[in-house]
Amino acid sequence: MLYVTLFICFCASIFLTPLVKKLAFKIGATDKPNQRKVHQKIMPRLGGLAIYISFLIGIFVIQPNESFNLHLINPDGHVHLALILGSLIIILTGAIDDVKEISPKVKLLGQILASLVIIIYGNIKVEFINLPFGGGQLDFGIFSIPFTMVWIVGITNAINLIDGLDGLAGGVSSIALFSIAGIAFITGNPYVTIVALIAAVSTLGFLVYNFHPAKIFMGDTGALFLGFLISVLSLLGLKSVTVMSLVIPVIILGVPVSDTFFAIIRRLVNKQPLSAPDKSHLHHCLLKAGYSHRQTVLMIYAMSAVFGLAGFIFSQATIRGSVIILLTILIIIEIFVEKIGLIREDYKPLLNLIRGFRQVNLRNK
């Protein structure tokens, strides 16, 4: 039944996307080209609506089946309903922005409301973290709600920020969802496995029209929905809340999270507002380096796949192994960031340090 449901979601997304495209033109949900954007003509957005409807179809098709009843897999029905209601708020927020381009504050308010539905009604929040190396437990107390809210809003916006090239956010999100589904399957969490797979195949169906050259954009409707869903599923997928287990979804989302992190650093270094748009994101830097649109997207897909695999290995490693993996990932990211000038062209502290060591070694020889 699961395979049939996934096939239905994929086909539904392929069928619905052209209809959403017509709707987008009709209601004015279009994206006009400007100096910051890569596309050269007016493009319909709102494509995330096709992903969302396909996702809902999958949820409602699989739920009545006794083998895969989502309420049986996840006995707390509030969690499932909270996920649906929170997603609806996110979809409405994104759709309004795709049509009228609301202010960042209003968009943030919609994300906060959706996260509160998850936290309060769904009772999903990080209340404590078990510290590694026998360090006891860190209890968040009253800060559990703001911590969880920051997590959900942060991951949601991380996906939204990389939505700058045809098929980029959709492909990265699909890879992340498949990675989350794989880890959830291994750790015995069928609810997260099924919901993540349904969302992933619904996104793949949309990518048929969204991959370069795109015929439609997912818009904030899709980017916010996928980011929100990934953020919530990553919380539900944590078998035990430890510092290391919280790192797993961050590794899986290595591309959007690191791009967002370095965008914040870049704006602080350049003394710009955090909300100020620019053309120095990862995909912009790769395009400037001479890679084509399609090559850039495929390269970032490959990076996302590597991060997904690293997250899977990390989830099965010992604490000592996890630390080694994490340090290796951080060093590789830093070197890559300095190579492509993600923060600034002259920002190369680690590369300069390595170059200094090489020069010292050459002199000693």
Number of domains in the chain: 1
Structure confidence at residue 41 (pLDDT)? 77
d(CA 188, CA 186): 6
Q: How confident is the model at residue 165 (pLDDT cuts 50, 70, 90)?
A: confident
For residue 113, pLDDT over 60 is answered with yes
Q: Report the number of secondary-structure helices (H) and strands (E) in the chain.
A: 15, 4
Q: Are strands 128-130 and 43-44 parallel, antiparallel or unpaired?
A: unpaired
What per-residue confidence (pLDDT) applies to 136? 67
Quickly state the pLDDT bin for 160 (edges 50, 70, 90).
confident
- Could you give the C-alpha distances from 284 to 162, 255, 275, 343, 349, in angstroms and in order? 10, 14, 17, 12, 22
Q: Which domain holds residue 230?
A: 2-364
Give the pLDDT score at 250. 87
DSSP state letter for 75: -
Residue 239: pLDDT above 60? Answer: no
Helical (H) or strand (E) element with 30 = strand 30-31
The pTM score is 0.88
Lowest-pLDDT range of 1-10, 145-154, 177-186, 345-354: 345-354
- pLDDT, mean over the chain: 86
Burial of 108 (0-12, 13-18, 19+ CB in 10 A): middle
- Is 361 labeled as ligand-binding? no
Q: Which distant-in-sequence residues (6+ apart) come within 8 Å of 298 by Cβ?
A: none
Q: Are 148 and 111 in contact (CB under 8 A)?
A: no
Contact assessment for residue 170 and residue 206, using Cβ atoms and an 8 Å cutoff: yes
Is pLDDT of 365 > 70? no
Is the pLDDT higher at 276 or at 347? Answer: 347
- Ligand-binding annotation for 220, yes or no, is yes
